[in-house]
Amino acid sequence: MRDLWFMDRYGDEIEEGITVQAAADLLRTIENADGDEEHRAVTVCDSDGWSLEYYPESVRFDNVHTPEKIGRLRGLSHDQRVALAEELIRGDFATLRSHPWESLDA
């Protein structure tokens, strides 16, 4: 069985209530500058090692269990960011991989 969880901006794991709406609410916590730039990242993770790590200006997609690094997307709207979270929550990796991910080295 595939487990899902969120990491909030302070590194705390959230294991219950993993829904698209909860992801949208979590993303809102990093969207506006509040003077705490050190803590402006949240993550959607699964037990297979896949994660979407969200920063104010970008989203990183990779797998911690493999050397595979898919890449990064920049300049997304809130709704686009939520749609990515929904794809990971559903396990729709074909759609996730189909986005124009740029190299992490770029």
How far is residue 89 CA from its own chain's centroid?
A: 10
Domain containing 10: what range?
Answer: 4-97
Does 105 reside within a domain? no
Name residues of the chain where pLDDT drops below 70. 106
Does 74 reside within a domain? yes
H helices of the chain, where? Answer: 20-31, 78-90, 93-97
Other Cβ atoms less than 10 A from the Cβ of 82: the count is 19
Task: Output the pLDDT for position 106.
Answer: 61
Calpha distance 17→106 (Å, rounded): 35
Does 106 reside within a domain? no
Task: Output the pLDDT for position 42.
Answer: 97
Which residues sit opposite 50 in a β-bridge?
A: 63
Asked whether the whole model's pTM tops 0.85, one would answer yes
Task: Output the pLDDT for position 41.
Answer: 95
